[in-house]
Chain A
């Protein structure tokens, strides 16, 4: 019951946050130089002021700024994210079209990085100061410090061009009449490289967080007590230290899970993955205001959801912390 109440209050606050973000983004985007009309006019190669003005009127850009903002918010409240004049489609359709691909990619990357990160981090902490620890921390650092696009390109070179094991880009092979099972397998094969590449960066973060946190917790008094009680080191580490150490990692992970949705721009670009990260970047480049705002609103909603989930996990991991104030 308490949990439900907590959920509802968080949800209400989340909606307010999303609305506030709509305002901020709306202002920011309209501050940027250029607008959709000038971009579309520019692309057509030759044009005149009258043509640009005609587009502006059509897109509603000639109205006062506050009117535009008001109309937009009214739309968002009714779950209407407007119309992309460039793509000639409703924004919501465009975003929902792309969302599954991103969720699949980030979900896979998230599970991969959190599992590998926590396991490796714990392993390193258990061997603190010994060669295994050094190897794990160094390798994770290398992954962290290598630019994502470089790593992605190398992965493609090795596994697609030279070894020819995995496809280099796209969500699935186009054409042909694949059965559902074949299609799923095909998507899974296409998923490996982008998910691992995207995940490796975050893996490195979780390795370091877990390790630091484990070492921190292992020094606390209650661990000494447990040791004095005669519990085996293995049990202490697994049952007690890890459980406490995972807390800051979960904090970070919850935050990043939401961020990943928007942060997958690079990965989606390099692997031609048809997700919303790329959609957002293209909308930004084209000053497709409505589409860009739509992506922001949807990914903001994602972050809110992930934050609530994080707090729920928090409550489960550490019941001492009161979250539902």
Chain B
């Protein structure tokens, strides 16, 4: 663990990313302390530009709600949706992909047919239908995003594991009598972790964006303020009030960027070969 941290620390950008991510988490946790009133409360006249009134530093939206307050509360929702849905997608996608890629044959066939089954439906449409059926709520949105998110993970892991499966070290491990589970988790997965981590960090972002698309179609959870909701609602006033979409947009961008930097740092720190290189 210590060795891992010291490897991670060598990537300055990754550390910077981690700081930003932690900062966003802190803001999310502290939102009620900064802004005790609900972010839905209409506190000022509508369309107040940013920096005009210190009480609403980032301006107000179409109904006179505080944008800064919305950003702080939105951090909670967006991070929650992004991470939980990605974790669910990984929990489903990685095992399926790894098993399919490792065993091949009938196992691969069955699992890939199952994956294709989910993938062959246009994912965005599937998400809309799912949310529409189960009614928009935090839970249904997370589940819908996870359901459309896991097949690419499975495909990617399968491809990678398949390629690794041909390598000599796997043959050697089999000859050495290691169990399949051990080989997959100890030998192969560490070697394919970097594309998975890169994909996962992008998935967090795409989950946040997908949530915004759903919000934009009127299928967001109506009682939670998310960045996606803010951008979706600002969409029709982009021309009059740039700040309404730019601030939450930048919030998403910064978070995604930070997550990516962390992801890369992790990838390199986790990769046994890169440590060899640097040793």
CB distance from A290 to the nearest CB of B (A): 15
- B160 to A149, Cβ gap below 8 A? no
Contact of A303 among B108, B120, B252, B260 (CB under 8 A): B120
The A contact surface, by secondary structure, is helix
> Which residues of the partner chain A approach B126 to less than 8 Å between Cβ atoms?
28
Residues of B whose CB lies within 8 Å of any CB of A are: 104-105, 108-109, 113, 116-117, 119-126, 128-130, 132-133, 151-152, 155-156, 159-160, 162-163, 166, 194-195, 198, 202, 205, 209, 212-213, 216-217, 231, 235, 238-239, 245, 249, 252-253, 256-257, 260, 267, 273-274, 277
The B contact surface, by secondary structure, is helix
Interface string of A285-325 (1 = CB under 8 A from B): 00000000001100110011001000000000010110001
Q: Can you identify 23 A-B contacts, CB atoms within 8 angstroms?
A: A17-B116, A18-B120, A21-B120, A24-B121, A32-B129, A32-B133, A144-B205, A145-B205, A145-B257, A146-B249, A147-B212, A147-B252, A149-B235, A157-B239, A209-B195, A212-B198, A248-B156, A251-B159, A280-B125, A296-B122, A296-B125, A300-B120, A325-B104
CA distance A141 to B54 in the complex (A): 32
> Which residues of the partner chain A approach B267 to less than 8 Å between Cβ atoms?
212
CB distance from B127 to the nearest CB of A (A): 11
- B121 to A21, Cβ gap below 8 A? yes
- A32 to B132, Cβ gap below 8 A? yes
- Interface hits, A212-271 → B, CB 8 Å: 212-213, 216, 219, 247-248, 251-252, 255, 258-259, 261-263, 265-266
Asked whether A71 is an interface residue with its Cβ less than 8 Å from the other chain, the reply is no
- A144-B205, A321-B162 known; A303-B129 Cβ under 8 A: no
> Which residues of the partner chain B approach A300 to less than 8 Å between Cβ atoms?
120-121
CB distance from B11 to the nearest CB of A (A): 10
Contact of A265 among B121, B124, B159, B277 (CB under 8 A): B124
- B209 to A262, Cβ gap below 8 A? no
Known A31-B133, A32-B133, A212-B195; further 6 A-B contacts with Cβ < 8 A: A141-B260, A150-B235, A209-B195, A252-B156, A263-B123, A321-B163
> Which residues of the partner chain B approach A266 to less than 8 Å between Cβ atoms?
213
Q: How many residues of A contact B (CB 8 A)?
A: 60
**Chain A to chain B: the 5 pairs with minimum beta-carbon distance, closest first:** A262-B122, A300-B120, A145-B256, A251-B159, A303-B120
Residues of A whose CB lies within 8 Å of any CB of B are: 13, 16-18, 20-21, 24-25, 28-29, 31-33, 138, 141-142, 144-150, 153-154, 157, 205, 208-209, 212-213, 216, 219, 247-248, 251-252, 255, 258-259, 261-263, 265-266, 277, 280-281, 284, 295-296, 299-300, 303-304, 307, 318, 320-321, 325
- B231 to A147, Cβ gap below 8 A? yes
CA distance A146 to B133 in the complex (A): 28
- B129 to A28, Cβ gap below 8 A? yes
> Which residues of the partner chain A approach B235 to less than 8 Å between Cβ atoms?
149-150, 153
- A263-B122, A263-B124, A296-B122 known; A142-B253 Cβ under 8 A: yes
- A281 to B125, Cβ gap below 8 A? yes
> Which residues of the partner chain B approach A303 to less than 8 Å between Cβ atoms?
116, 119-120
- B273 to A219, Cβ gap below 8 A? yes
CA distance A61 to B167 in the complex (A): 56
CA distance A148 to B228 in the complex (A): 12
- B194 to A216, Cβ gap below 8 A? yes
